Amino acid sequence: MHPFSPAHAPAPSGAGHSHAVPSRHLLGLEGMPRETLFEILDDAERDLARLTVDRSPTDELRLLTVVIAMFEDSTRTRVSFQIAAKRLGATVSTFSSHGLSLSKGESLRDTLHIFEANGADVVVVRHSSPGAPAYLAEQLGSAVVNAGDGMHEHPTQGLLDLMTLRQAWSGRFEGRRIAIVGDIAHSRVARSAIFGLTTLGVTVTLAGPATLMPAEVERLGCTVSASVDEALEGADAAMALRLQRERMEKGLLPSLREYTRVWGIDATRVRRMKADAVVLHPGPVNRGVELAPDVADGERSVILDQVANGVAVRCAVLRRCAAALAQEVA
């Protein structure tokens, strides 16, 4: 049996709070120290540098089995975890389940047995229930990576956003300001970005309809702008978010056209930002709703950098899981 076998790993304790769980798991960016954030970002930069010139797989993680379990739709995250695992020589298996009518307990418990029987060392999981990855981390001997849990966190997206901003901002986070615009309340992307960014000294301004603003804005350490124009004025970056209509109760939005008029980011609004400011979007983009097509494809857009950085960040995260598992066995 190889050193990453879950059978060898002790059960985690204190799972459920991202800062209290063993380092083999990545459940969220809340409470992650800046040194850890920078360690992962530095490692991801090395992966990016290598992958830019050489995409051939290494055998670095050849003993690692990664199961990617998607209980919610995913394109970018799924593909980039698959590619990252393969680039490092791991064995990777992916499945998607749309069994969202099953209760969380039933579907996850059934699936646990499949993961374990297949000898998964790392389980990458996306689920509509906040806390599902933490639940798995308690139940499994394997490392668990949260690939998005409901409205809670999406830590690898947060990390790739930090990586993209670090590149755009020539390595300096302190003193910068980002405007996060749109459906904040339903956005796990926004939450992970906020945790990471505030830890690194970035000021985060939120803008969006009051019905789509989280109740805990102050706890998150953000300020709120009354308008998108105000939020963008002098900002170093803007992050547009998709309207998560699948998570919305009826009546939170008057109409899409009204939403775009009041909160959409178009070329005129972009000019309010600093001259070298960039525009991010986690995708999928609703073109012409939260982001005008000419901005999405324009020179300020770093959306494709986010995608490329996603593979590098996931390489770094998988390597970190593997190292933590090996350390536990040693």
Q: Does 163 bind ligand NCD (CB under 6 A)?
A: no
Candidates 16, 40, 37, 114; CA nearest to 71 is 114
Q: Does 130 bind ligand NCD (CB under 6 A)?
A: no
Q: Does 78 bind ligand NCD (CB under 6 A)?
A: no
Q: Does 188 bind ligand NCD (CB under 6 A)?
A: yes
Q: Does 157 bind ligand NCD (CB under 6 A)?
A: yes
Q: Does 148 bind ligand NCD (CB under 6 A)?
A: yes
Rounded least distance, CB 76 to ligand NCD, Å: 4
Rounded least distance, CB 25 to ligand NCD, Å: 19
Q: Does 189 bind ligand NCD (CB under 6 A)?
A: yes
Q: Which is nearer to ligand NCD, 65 or 77 (CB)?
A: 77
Per CB under 6 A, which of residues 225..264 are in contact with ligand NCD? 242, 244
Phi/psi for 280 (5° steps) reads -115, 155
Number of residues that bind ligand NCD (CB under 6 A): 11
Q: Which is nearer to ligand NCD, 200 or 241 (CB)?
A: 241
Q: Does 76 bind ligand NCD (CB under 6 A)?
A: yes
Query: Quick one: 170 exposed, middle or buried, by C-beta within 10 A (0-12, 13-18, 19+)?
Result: exposed
**Alpha-carbon 47 to chain mean position:** 18
Q: Which of 37, 41, 66, 77 binds ligand NCD (CB under 6 A)?
A: 77
Q: Does 150 bind ligand NCD (CB under 6 A)?
A: no
Rounded least distance, CB 159 to ligand NCD, Å: 12
Q: Which is nearer to ligand NCD, 188 or 300 (CB)?
A: 188
Q: Does 166 bind ligand NCD (CB under 6 A)?
A: no
For residue 43, the one-letter residue type is D
Which residue of the chain is nearest ligand NCD when measured via CB? 242
Q: Does 164 bind ligand NCD (CB under 6 A)?
A: no
Q: Does 314 bind ligand NCD (CB under 6 A)?
A: no
Instruction: Round to whole Å and give the CA distance between 304 and 26.
Output: 24
Q: Which is nearer to ligand NCD, 167 or 244 (CB)?
A: 244
Rounded least distance, CB 256 to ligand NCD, Å: 15
Q: Which is nearer to ligand NCD, 119 or 288 (CB)?
A: 288
For binding to ligand NCD (CB under 6 A), which residues are involved?
Answer: 76-77, 148, 154, 157, 188-189, 242, 244, 282-283
